[in-house]
Chain A
């Protein structure tokens, strides 16, 4: 038993100086003894705050108590009934603001390490070959899911479990959405974790068709009128990267984080056998403070660049998961906070040679409640670099909106849905995830996929009640 019940059992990690040069997973996870000791810290509250804090309402004390008893099958049953991707969530959820943020243990000491325990149970279940199970008989009703990212996979998995005949359409050559093109290998291993979780969703009877771009290869109307789907879920994720509109942004060596990450992760450009090229700068500046910025920075570092992160607010406002910021710093990434780029400089051949930034201070809170940054006049300074990666968020992909008549979107291009059942302005068409909210997190997209699955189930039950 751990000496100090107030503290988390520390999790083993690859040493910072070593991992800064490879793409192997940073966090090594708990072993059986560590997991059981950490699980023993859970107080099994009558009214568990952690469950309320979880966007997919996992029975957290339930799976933790089974870990305590070394009942992996039981723990996995609890997890897989609420989440299609437990091994993913255990790795990438911002637990500190969700489940662990509500943990009673956190008041006087450290919260129970719920994320690491979820990962432990899901990884052990995978080693044991456990699979999720259908809850209901197959009902033969066909539903199409557009996009195989976290929202789509969750929606598909839940619907399949309820008995629906589900087909997922994916635009890229590989299923997983942001889990394969965005989040790097060192945070979320593709072959061992993502592919296996997707296999589990397929094991529920879900079919996944790749290389099919809904809005181009087929339209939403084709799916409903020609292909015989009775409901459609749109989970197409975030769209095109934003740029700042500053001078020099078209220079050679300026990338969107989406491009840099897609080359690195989906196309595995870090691997000598991959035939997709990627630029490796001597010194890279990543602009932004979210998870995507951290991922791009840490990829560039591993590929061999020195890396600065430039963010216009202060450390407290960094939107990234705390663990990623901590890891990035340990690995030697330099944070230039309260700093904003104003111009990118180029050499005589058009390649990036540096970036001029200006210092910022925090003023009054803005609409988002965060204190808005204000430039300090005359504080410009230059960082020499040969690569700039913009991680400023995205604006929604226009393809489905353009090709689906009557599908309403908001001012920012996000699909408008009803709060009750996630249905769009089109009958039988539902949506969720970044395509609705703009860029958010894996777990929020999963929560949205889950809510839409409930909405679709109600809609189809209602439609078929007189059959």
Chain B
């Protein structure tokens, strides 16, 4: 069992947990992820790692309540409770971790963080800051209230450019609008690392390809075991079948087939929607609409 030592709501639908998982905390590197299960009947959920403290033996998880399972985690798990399972760190560390400090310092790196993607981007920026490298970052969200970890982000990056779709904070527009703006102002980068919703990564990659910036994305596919067994996380990269859990999760964004990945991400959408409805409405939902027979 994995104890929750701290819980914090970052916005109305995003929650942060610090959880005791000493081996994971000791070995986690930026770019890696976890599989988490709330309790004995729970689903295995892949989550990115926002932070890890090898001394305290804790990892920081940030969860957005997108389905019944994540909603349940946010509602039911509190400080002093436990996650039944935390398995990781999974996936390959970021290619940045293979570079020496000199190489890192020679690169102009731009991160693009969309929504919840801010959490894993923070892990990478913090790791770089520890090496004395302050990369730039565009952090985007729909609106001001769901821009998360802004102070923490500021502390570990060079320039932090905020962008909101509704213009309530920072640049008015999405992350690609912001990138185009920076480019037009004469900013240049050698490497772009984009983490966020798949649709955002797709459009960011279309722009960075035009601009000729090498781009890495982190693919948040459907997963079950996360260790290289089930094959649920498969996607096409450069026309070949790849598995996000053991070949990724980071891939060359210009080679990822986003359209088929976006399509596969919808696989359980209907079932997830029904489960969420059932969870939210509980006994009051009797399926009178005729859509949900269960």
Task: Give me the interface of A with B, judged by CB distance under 8 Å.
Answer: 171-173, 181, 210-213, 216-218, 237-241, 243, 245, 249-252, 255-256, 258-259, 262-263, 266-267, 272-277, 279, 350, 397-399
Contacts and interface: CB of A to CB of B under 8 A. Distances in A.
A255 B268 CA distance: 12
Q: Is the interface of A mostly helix, strand, loop or mixed?
A: loop
B263 A350 contact: yes
Contacts of A172: 87, 225, 227
A92 to B, nearest CB: 19
Contacts of B23: 212, 217-218
Contacts of A256: 230-232, 234
Contacts of B187: none
A241 B268 contact: no
A277 B272 CA distance: 7
A241 B229 CA distance: 7
Nearest to A245: B241
Given A173-B84, A266-B224, 11 more contacts: A173-B85, A213-B90, A216-B89, A217-B23, A241-B231, A243-B241, A245-B241, A250-B264, A258-B230, A262-B230, A277-B272
B231 A398 contact: no
Contacts of A211: 85-87
Q: What 8 A-B pairs are tightest by C-beta distance, nearest first?
A: A256-B231, A241-B231, A277-B271, A259-B230, A211-B87, A277-B268, A173-B85, A397-B228
Interface in B69-94: 69, 72, 84-90
Interface stretch (B7-15, B39-47, B189-197, B199-207): B39-47
Given A250-B263, A275-B68, A275-B275, A213 B44 contact: no
A211 B2 CA distance: 11
A213 B87 contact: yes
Contact of A173 (B24, B44, B241, B272): B44
Contacts of B228: 239-240, 397-399
A217 B87 contact: yes
A171 B227 contact: yes
B294 A272 contact: yes
Contacts of B41: 273-275
A210 B246 contact: no
Nearest to A396: B228
A210 B85 contact: yes
Contact of B229 (A212, A218, A240, A272): A240
Contacts of B88: 213, 216-217
19 contacts: A172-B87, A173-B85, A181-B225, A210-B85, A213-B87, A213-B88, A213-B227, A240-B246, A243-B231, A252-B266, A252-B267, A258-B229, A267-B44, A267-B224, A275-B69, A276-B43, A277-B268, A350-B266, A399-B228
Contacts of A212: 23, 87
Nearest to B257: A250
A414 to B, nearest CB: 15
A273 B275 CA distance: 11
Contacts of A273: 41
A210 B225 CA distance: 13
B89 A217 contact: yes
A398 B69 CA distance: 30
B16 interface: no
A263 B260 contact: no
B87 A252 contact: no
Given A250-B264, A277-B275, A399 B225 contact: no
A143 to B, nearest CB: 20
Contacts of A258: 229-231
B195 to A, nearest CB: 20
B254 interface: no
Contacts of B225: 171-172, 181, 262, 266
A263 B230 CA distance: 9
B25 to A, nearest CB: 11
Interface string B269-281: 0011001000000
Contact of A262 (B90, B224, B268): B224
Task: Output the residue of B227, B229, B236, B271 with the most chain A CB within 10 A.
Answer: B229
A354 B86 CA distance: 39
Contact of B87 (A173, A262, A277): A173
B224 A263 contact: yes
A275 B43 contact: yes
Contacts of B24: 217
B168 interface: no
Contacts of B264: 250, 252
Given A240-B229, A258-B230, A397-B229, A217 B243 contact: no
B227 A399 contact: yes
Contacts of B257: 250
Contacts of B272: 277
A181 B92 CA distance: 24
Contacts of B224: 259, 262-263, 266-267, 276
Contact of A399 (B44, B232, B246): B246
A110 to B, nearest CB: 38
Contact of B27 (A218, A241, A259, A279): A218
B37 interface: yes
A240 B243 contact: yes
A255 B236 CA distance: 15
Contacts of A252: 263-264, 266-267
A274 B44 CA distance: 11
A217 B227 CA distance: 11
Given A173-B37, A216-B88, A397-B246, A250 B230 contact: no
Nearest to A280: B271
Contacts of A217: 23-24, 27, 87-89
A262 B266 contact: no
